[in-house]
Amino acid sequence: MAEKVVLAYSGGLDTSVAIKWLKEKYSLDVIAVTIDVGNERDFTAVRQKALDAGAIKALVIDAKELFVKYFIFPALQADAIYEGQYPLGTALSRPLMAKLLVDTALDEDASAIAHGCTGKGNDQVRFEVSINALAPDLKIIAPAREWDMTREETINYAEQHNIPIPITVSSPYSIDECLWGKSIECGALEDPWVEPPEDAYTWTKSPDQAPDKPQYVEIGFEKGIPVSIDGENLDGIALIQQLNEMAGKHGIGRIDHIENRLVGIKSREIYEAPAATVLLQAHQALEAMTLAKDQLRFKQKVAQEYADLIYNGLWFSQLNRDLSTYILSTQRYVTGTVRMKLFKGNSSVVGRKAPKSLYNLSLATYEKGDQFDQSASAGFIHLWGLPIRTQAKVQLLADKEGPLSIMEAKNPGGKIE
Ligand code: ARG
């Protein structure tokens, strides 16, 4: 009997061709595994396509619940956003897929795992680093990195081998979707000067086509996890789906990013992430109410580390464990409700409340009931400014360079009559 390989199967051209190619080149029987992370497809058809292309077995795994609980929500609690722009949908899904591929390979007694990534992207790194960490003895094969065929040659190969060519081949873009967002690249998008054509977007309305009236939505959080929309409790999957739709209608969540890939190149990536955009914003607004200044400052650094770790394929590291322990600890009081206004491509925070809020009206108010002791400020300023006064006397006032050099130029901005 031939040895078996578990293939991460998307239903697209490359992975369909890979089924035959793995048999021809390596004499391996292919078990196709398609993982549903919320990419709304007809999975029955995808499964059938794998069998038609010659897979000996085709499995579809619904991983949405795992994805939300173990990947999306921890990333949301962390406020993980890569380079200030990308909410990391694709990047978060890869370690989960790797885990499920490994489980299947062990169950099915396969000797290898194959994926359809090219040699230029981040996903190959995320898959392989994760698979190697979880099952160091499994071989990894990356057909699209090995076979050296152009897109056209791949289509020819499919035709010659009677592999049904997916209609998606007509799409000029390379697309990856999950609950946390859609990633779009290639085609016209490769020119960073070109505005993304409207057909690149399918999850979001163009902001100028969006409704002329704003929509308000209240999102309830418990310990940093969103649990309700407008007072109605929802499970994570439904909540994210509902927000993707609602915010997408208002044109929210379009992201145009010149991104630094792990493999060293800059690439132009378009994302549609309506739910992620709204939830990250709302979550941060609630943290602003419930975390102290120092906690917020420190957590921002952790958020960046965490985003890099996710992006760079290091999910199964102990650093993840260390950082997520810290992040969870910060979420203890991040409970409350945030009101968002969705309008013409923008979501804005317009209200927030939390039972353990640190915002104290009687300290902040300029109206009656002010409990802030304003007379104490004079002494505070005296001590706060002490190091500056000391330094100015000894160094600054005698120094012609540095912050005082501006004084050298008389009337630097010209005289205003
Ligand atoms: N640049 C993103 C990342 O590395 C998205 C990659 C999306 N892949 C795709 N086939 N379009 O996470």
Contacts of 178 (CB under 8 A, 6+ apart): 37, 38, 39, 67, 89, 90, 92, 93
If DSSP codes are grouped into helix, strand and coil, which group holds residue 129?
Answer: helix
Question: What residue type is 352 in one-letter code?
Answer: R
State yes or no: is 94 an active-site residue.
yes
Asked if 90 and 178 touch (Cβ cutoff 8 Å), the reply is yes
Summarised one tens digit per residue, pLDDT across range 264-289 is: 999 999 999 999 999 999 999 999 99
Average pLDDT of the chain, as a whole number: 94
The pLDDT-based confidence of 172 (bands split at 50, 70, 90) is: confident
From the candidates 111, 171, 174, 324, give the one annotated as an active-site residue: 174
Q: Cα of 183 to ligand 1 centre, how many Å?
A: 6
- 368 vs 350 pLDDT, higher one: 350
Q: Cα of 195 to ligand 1 centre, how many Å?
A: 19
Summarised one tens digit per residue, pLDDT across range 13-28 is: 999 999 999 999 999 9
- Here the tokens at position 158 are 């499919």
Q: Cα of 334 to ligand 1 centre, how many Å?
A: 31
pLDDT of residue 151: 84
Residue 86's nearest CA partner among 201, 223, 256, 224 is 256
From the candidates 14, 29, 79, 176, give the one annotated as an active-site residue: 14
Summarised one tens digit per residue, pLDDT across range 109-157 is: 999 999 999 999 999 999 999 999 999 999 999 999 999 998 889 999 9
For the CA of 122, the nearest atom of ligand 1: 4
For the CA of 121, the nearest atom of ligand 1: 4
Summarised one tens digit per residue, pLDDT across range 208-246 is: 999 999 999 999 999 999 999 999 999 999 999 999 999
Q: Is the CB of 270 under 6 A from ligand 1?
A: no
Asked if 78 and 327 touch (Cβ cutoff 8 Å), the reply is yes
Q: Cα of 123 to ligand 1 centre, how many Å?
A: 7
State yes or no: is 14 an active-site residue.
yes
Rounded Cα distance, 123 and 102, in Å: 16
Contacts of 134 (CB under 8 A, 6+ apart): 98, 99, 102, 316
Q: Is the CB of 259 under 6 A from ligand 1?
A: yes
Contacts of 52 (CB under 8 A, 6+ apart): 163, 164
Q: Is 253 left (phi over 0), alpha (psi -120 to 50) or beta?
A: left
State yes or no: is 294 an active-site residue.
no
Summarised one tens digit per residue, pLDDT across range 76-113 is: 999 999 999 999 999 999 999 999 999 999 999 999 99
Rounded Cα distance, 10 and 298, in Å: 39
